[in-house]
Structure 1
Amino acid sequence: MQNQNFVGPKGWRQYFFMLALDFLFVVLPPALFFTVLAEWTYICAGCMMLLLVVIVALGRILPSRSHYMRTGADSSTAIRRLISSYRVSVMIVTCLCILGVDFRIFPRRYAKTETYGTSLMDLGVGSFVLANSLVSRQARQGTTLKYKSSLQAITPLILLGFARLVFTKGVDYQVHVGEYGVHWNFFFTLAAVSLLTSIFNIHPRYCGFLGSFILSAYQICLLFGLNEYLTSRERNMNLFSQNKEGIISLFGYWGMYLIGVNLGYYLFFGKNSRKADMNSVQTVQLRVMFFSITFWLLTMLLDKYVENVSRRMCNLAYVTLVLAQNFQVLAILMLSDVLRSNLLVLEGAFDQNLLAAFLLANILTGLINLTIDTLFVSSAMALGVLLLYSMSLTFLVGCAKFLGMKLKFW
């Protein structure tokens, strides 16, 4: 659907009809599996994986079913489309969870952990940073914005961060201080990561080494007492102490971002990934699977012998967990590519305004929490509100795409 033009009265009808279909088949299933069908999630996921394996096996037996063999599509274009699908899937799950967690029908095992541990929502922040690093300007072109240009680019993020701070303080919105601190929030983290990357401007070929060094040094500091400082409830009156979690965890997120830049360049945008043939697609698939398995093994070793996974500190085990999980999702999407050849209308809409969609989801979530007491509504009403929220988000993001609006600044 990516290359299809929707012009005139019939065009907008067709566009929003396809958008509605995409909502039913892409957004509605995870909304149900995260809530009322949570106990069936693993069974359904297993059945879908089994079906996918059967389809992929048939595609190997009957090569004519392959999109690349059938259309001769450029492999780099196809791979980048798959990355877009992956980034959109991460965003949709994140948007569903930030509201779903406020209701009792959302299983507590999916909610963020306090200090150590893993859950579905623990992956959200890291996945967003990694998904953007894989397709960043630095990964694609080998360059970053100049210092002044970078300051201009992150200004909207800083403004969003202060806007969120003013809003939460003004309406006394519940914020867990242990996540980022008293004043810090996710938008400040994004801005700081972007600024640090532009200051230390190095070729993506070497970003992996720098990222690994930063993460290793940071992990050593955590083991020698920094983790105790971060997890303590004591806060002095200075801004650093009040926002210690958000500021210090920047080392983890920055290291993760740099590794993502290096992997994005190596897998998708470097010279070795530009051959437009079927073999290069299969090579990328195998590499993505290899990295997923490798990072899963590293996560298990680090979690057992170094330090447990901690999103709050963004330690080394958390970074490898995010890498493992995201590359696993990307590998599954690559295997499933035999099912379709173009971006869905929904994917194209979210991909064009990814961060703006996240901001809109946060605004809608805040308005809903100010309107109703989410912890005491019935399961039926909770599901209804969640579906209305996801429909509104889909429709508004779709309208922005249809009208040609593009708000992309990170």
Structure 2
Amino acid sequence: MDSRAAAEPIPHVSPSPFPNPSAVNQTLEERLGLDLVQVYDWDWWGTLVQSGESLLLILSTLWCILLARVVCQKLRLHGSADLCYATEFLLVILPCILLVSVAVDYSGYIGLLMLVATLWFLRTSRALERARTRVQFDLGGNRPMCLSILRALTHLITAVCILAIDFGSFYRPYRKSRQFGAKLMDTGIGLFVFTMAMVSRRTRHWSDLRRSVIYSALPLILLGLARTVSILTLSYGQDAHEYGQHLNAFFTLGFTKFLGSLVSILARKDLHLLPLGFGLLVIHQFGLSVLGISDYVMNEDVERSSFLNANREGLVSLPGFVGLFLLSIYVNRWMVAKSLLTYSEFVRKLRRLFYLVLILWTSFVISAYEIGISRVTCNLGYVIWMLAIGSTTLCASFGAIDFAINSVMPWDPNPWEDHEKGLLSGEAVVKKRGGSVVPFTISQALNKNGLTFFLVANILTGMVNIFLRPEDRSHSESVIILLVYMFLATKLVHELLKRGIRLA
């Protein structure tokens, strides 16, 4: 561990939300050149290892989704929605469950196998050569398939982890960090904010703000309130170090949506979201590092005697999540700025996205060393990490689906019908004629009813904890329970998809 990271805890922290003036002056003097002593330490190398493990799991699940697309189309299963669902369940959800539990020791070998299989596919299918012969690349308008895949990935991995963590078979290093760290479960709330921004637009008028509040922010806030009331009524345990005693992820998402929409109205055009987001993050990091707010949030000696003290984690992290939201909207608007691209334009966009990924991961390494990665405060390092993971996944799926797979096996069964063009964009998910469904059936189902899926997953998680005592289950029993749990949650939204029903 870096010698600068070792530190002794301060003898006392005031229960007020901010340090006293003398403490602030002392901190400023330290930043100006006196001996710097960090109150809390972080293992920057361990953070890099944790992030690598998290990214490997995410990319492995993405690879399984791509494999399911290829298999379903090769076997011509899209004429049957149920066969397509069953195949995707076995090829996507089963590996995800195994990779966070009993098969985690083989993650590296599995990742290597996936890499070799990918190179073999590119070589035998001549995907790169075929891509050069295409007249144009249709990204699908405002909802490219790569964005839908990322949203589905976030829902699937989060749903698996929120129940799997209660079993003894769960890989403990994937658990959320208490202070600093870059573990798999730390990605949950950040990627939810990232993907929420991916389907959002910059607020241009007050009417847009009113629409965002009523249809997006308010339902999330009400769900957060319902969860808090339910937990207090049932005396169900909640870790106060995540969002506080009364707040939860729904509150964070709802207030982030509201505040992000409110701030984005200041931007005259999409490009202005960059200085707005970065400016907010710099101010937020200044408060965390210089004013000692990070120490206040993480110090367990601070009693939760008031609403602010009791929920300091959730409240203090909000500016960071709003900054992440604004920057993610800009990434989205850049991605969908033009949907029909020539080969050279597509390669240029893919190359720029790859450069962005390199810049973000370099910034992540620097942040891990200098300021740490903290989900609890959503500091600058955490926001950079979320942008890096989100952009990496977008780049991988963008190249794999739109560039490689669609060049070898395009999904266009009825090209003479205009509405078929929406299949790859997520605009049309079920064809009434013949019962044909699009590729990535489970992903499309999650995109149509993601909130419904997440609510059902939370309810099932509570029921398993109450009635099945997961801490007493063997490894094989835990896998079976997780499979049944994911089947019930995903099958529900899949049935809604088949019937063209969209709840939330």
Does structure 2 retain, via aligned residues, the 8 Å contact 1:91–1:354? Answer: yes
Structure 1 residues 58 and 12, CA gap change in structure 2 (3 angstroms): closer
Does structure 2 retain, via aligned residues, the 8 Å contact 1:56–1:335? Answer: no
Residue of structure 2 equivalent to 1:217: 283
The separation in 2 between residues aligned to 1:197 and 1:260, in whole angstroms, is 11
| 1:356 partnered with 2:423 | no
Structure 1 residues 192 and 374, CA gap change in structure 2 (3 angstroms): same
The separation in 1 between residues aligned to 2:339 and 2:488, in whole angstroms, is 39
Structure 1 residues 71 and 375, CA gap change in structure 2 (3 angstroms): farther
| 1:316 partnered with 2:380 | yes
Residue of structure 2 equivalent to 1:231: 298
Structure-2-length-normalised TM-score? 0.73
Residue of structure 2 equivalent to 1:380: 476
- Deviation (angstroms), 1:59: 5.6
Residue of structure 2 equivalent to 1:150: 212
Structure-1-length-normalised TM-score? 0.89
The separation in 1 between residues aligned to 2:207 and 2:474, in whole angstroms, is 49
- Deviation (angstroms), 1:57: 5.0
Residue of structure 1 equivalent to 2:28: none
The separation in 1 between residues aligned to 2:79 and 2:272, in whole angstroms, is 48
Does structure 1 retain, via aligned residues, the 8 Å contact 2:137–2:343? Answer: no
| 1:16 partnered with 2:82 | yes
- Provide, for residues 172-231 of structure 1, a one-character-per-residue CA deviation record: whole Å limited to 9, x for no partner: 222110100010011111111111123221232211111101111111111120111000
The separation in 1 between residues aligned to 2:225 and 2:109, in whole angstroms, is 43
- Deviation (angstroms), 1:162: 1.0
- Deviation (angstroms), 1:383: 0.8
The equivalent position to 1:398 in structure 2, one of 466, 491, 494, is 494
The separation in 2 between residues aligned to 1:48 and 1:295, in whole angstroms, is 24
Does structure 2 retain, via aligned residues, the 8 Å contact 1:168–1:174? Answer: yes
- More displaced stretch, 143-152 vs 246-255: 143-152
Residue of structure 2 equivalent to 1:132: 196
- Deviation (angstroms), 1:336: 2.2
| 1:303 partnered with 2:371 | no
SS in 1 for 2:166: coil
Does structure 1 retain, via aligned residues, the 8 Å contact 2:139–2:145? Answer: no
The separation in 1 between residues aligned to 2:333 and 2:127, in whole angstroms, is 32
Residue of structure 2 equivalent to 1:6: none
- More displaced stretch, 171-180 vs 198-207: 198-207
- Deviation (angstroms), 1:122: 0.6
The separation in 2 between residues aligned to 1:119 and 1:184, in whole angstroms, is 22
Does structure 1 retain, via aligned residues, the 8 Å contact 2:361–2:385? Answer: yes
Structure having the higher helix fraction is: 1
The separation in 2 between residues aligned to 1:118 and 1:197, in whole angstroms, is 24
Aligned pairs (5 A) from 1:160-239: 160-200=223-263, 201=265, 202=267, 203-224=269-290, 225-233=292-300, 234-239=302-307
What residue identity is the alignment partner of 2:294? N
The separation in 2 between residues aligned to 1:94 and 1:353, in whole angstroms, is 15
The separation in 2 between residues aligned to 1:339 and 1:382, in whole angstroms, is 35
Structure 1 unaligned blocks of 5 or more: 3-10
SS in 1 for 2:144: helix
| 1:33 partnered with 2:95 | no
| 1:103 partnered with 2:171 | no
- Deviation (angstroms), 1:235: 2.9
Aligned pairs (5 A) from 1:36-115: 36-57=102-123, 63-64=129-130, 66=131, 69=133, 73-77=137-141, 80-115=144-179
Structure 1 residues 91 and 281, CA gap change in structure 2 (3 angstroms): farther
SS in 2 for 1:407: coil
The separation in 1 between residues aligned to 2:325 and 2:294, in whole angstroms, is 21
What residue identity is the alignment partner of 1:207? L
Does structure 2 retain, via aligned residues, the 8 Å contact 1:302–1:308? Answer: yes
- Deviation (angstroms), 1:260: 0.4
- Deviation (angstroms), 1:151: 3.0
Does structure 1 retain, via aligned residues, the 8 Å contact 2:247–2:314? Answer: yes
Residue of structure 2 equivalent to 1:279: 344
Does structure 2 retain, via aligned residues, the 8 Å contact 1:137–1:144? Answer: no
What residue identity is the alignment partner of 2:320? G
Structure 1 residues 98 and 280, CA gap change in structure 2 (3 angstroms): farther
The separation in 2 between residues aligned to 1:362 and 1:348, in whole angstroms, is 20
Residue of structure 2 equivalent to 1:329: 393
Structure 1 residues 173 and 12, CA gap change in structure 2 (3 angstroms): farther
- Deviation (angstroms), 1:283: 2.3
The separation in 2 between residues aligned to 1:135 and 1:279, in whole angstroms, is 27
The separation in 1 between residues aligned to 2:399 and 2:273, in whole angstroms, is 28
- Deviation (angstroms), 1:163: 1.1
The separation in 1 between residues aligned to 2:206 and 2:331, in whole angstroms, is 16
* Runs of 4+ that moved beyond 4 A: 57-62, 68-73, 76-79, 141-145
What residue identity is the alignment partner of 2:107? T
- Provide, for residues 99-151 of structure 1, a one-character-per-residue CA deviation record: whole Å limited to 9, x for no partner: 1111111110111111111111111110111122123133xx96785343333
Q: Percent identity?
A: 27
What residue identity is the alignment partner of 1:126? G
The separation in 2 between residues aligned to 1:45 and 1:312, in whole angstroms, is 30
- Deviation (angstroms), 1:56: 3.4
The separation in 1 between residues aligned to 2:241 and 2:231, in whole angstroms, is 15
Q: CA RMSD in A?
A: 2.5
Largest Rg, 1 or 2? 2
Does structure 2 retain, via aligned residues, the 8 Å contact 1:79–1:281? Answer: no
What residue identity is the alignment partner of 1:90? T
